[in-house]
Amino acid sequence: MILVTGGAGFIGANFVLDWLAQSDEPVLNLDKLTYAGNPENLASLQGDSRYLFVQGDIGDAPLVERLLAQHQPRAVINFAAESHVDRSIHGPEDFIQTNVVGTMRLLQSVRAYWQALTDAQRIEFRFLHVSTDEVYGSLSPTDPAFTEGNKLEPNSPYSASKAASDHLVRAWLHTYGLPVLTTNCSNNYGPLHFPEKLIPLIIVNALAGKPLPVYGDGLQVRDWLYVKDHCSAIRRVLAAGRVGEIYNVGGWNEKPNIEIVKTICTLLDELRPKSDGSSYQTQITYVQDRPGHDRRYAIDASKIERELGWKPAETFATGIRKTVQWYLDNQDWVTHVQSGAYRDWVQTNYAGRG
């Protein structure tokens, strides 16, 4: 069995679904079910004997220790995190509590469990920490892409909290010997993405006839990684990654935000044309940039390709088409996640930015 934390969120849920589509090894999913944790993401697994869900916090040491002792996982994959930059600007304490304190407590619980294993089990055990490229800071247009050797220079409360968690994982390796692995991924997109992030927000707002908010000049550059590719990379790192190593996971798809928005509009013009014949691009609205907005991220994913033979299967063109089509085909899911709390958040974040 493997233990997945945060497995009801966007990336975690895709990972659980993909894992069980390819393996009969059971998954124990521990998720606190905060705003972005959605059990509906995993509704297709209801009644599947290979899947067990427990609602709980990674910082709840007695709960985590009980689950570890009871289920004896051979690996822990840690997706659990607060992960939205804008939310971290409005409320940084939640990010420190989950991403720093929660990760530390999880490491402590896992360390105690690992130390009690047999010698053979300890050798095979892995703790895989899923992190982000945002810990590296920002790049200029001419800087080389981030490698695993870049120093951490986080610029938002979110990225600072993730950088802290990366440091803790490294410390538990070097101080206690816990066999850890870390992945730092670029911007994910794809099915089940909570509609506050750029790509799903643009799709949902476009279909609702609402403004499509673009920060500043829209020329912030990100590397985009289809979520299913990210999941396959994590599986590969878990299977063959060298203990203590960091692996950057990227899509080799650097794009400015405004190009992303226009690409989505073009796809929607084709797949769900407006009744008046106009383009969804007429809904694009430039809004005031957010504080400390990093200008460019780019991932050099050559290490994971060189050492582990992994590279993304999707181009941006294929991945974004699949993503737009998924949202068109799953409007009920979108309706269900757009709770009052979600609408309140969108109003808080974008009020006064016009």
List the catalytic residue out of 136, 158, 226, 280. 158
Of these residues, 133, 223, 229, 294, which one is catalytic? 133
Whether 158 is a known active-site residue: answer yes
| Contact residues for 252 (Cβ-Cβ < 8 A; gap 6+) | 223, 301, 311, 312
Alpha-helix runs per DSSP H in 212-292: 227-240, 257-271
Among this protein's residues, is 133 annotated catalytic? yes
What gap in Å lies between CA 136 and CA 272, rounded to an integer? 38
CA–CA separation, 285 and 164 (whole Å)? 35
Q: Give the number of other Cβ atoms within 10 Å of residue 341's Cβ.
A: 10
Which three-class secondary structure state does DSSP give residue 299? strand
Q: Would you tell me how many other CB atoms lie within 10 Å of the CB of residue 189?
A: 26
Please pick, among 82, 134, 166, 254, the residue that the annotation labels catalytic: 134
What is the sign of the dihedral through the CA atoms of 263, 272, 190 and 348? positive
Structure tokens at 246: 């960091």
Is 39 exposed, middle or buried, given 0-12, 13-18 or 19+ CB atoms closer than 10 A? Answer: middle
Judge whether 40 counts as a catalytic residue.
no
Q: Is 331 helix (H, G, I), strand (E, B) or coil?
A: helix
By annotation, the residues acting in catalysis are 133-134, 158
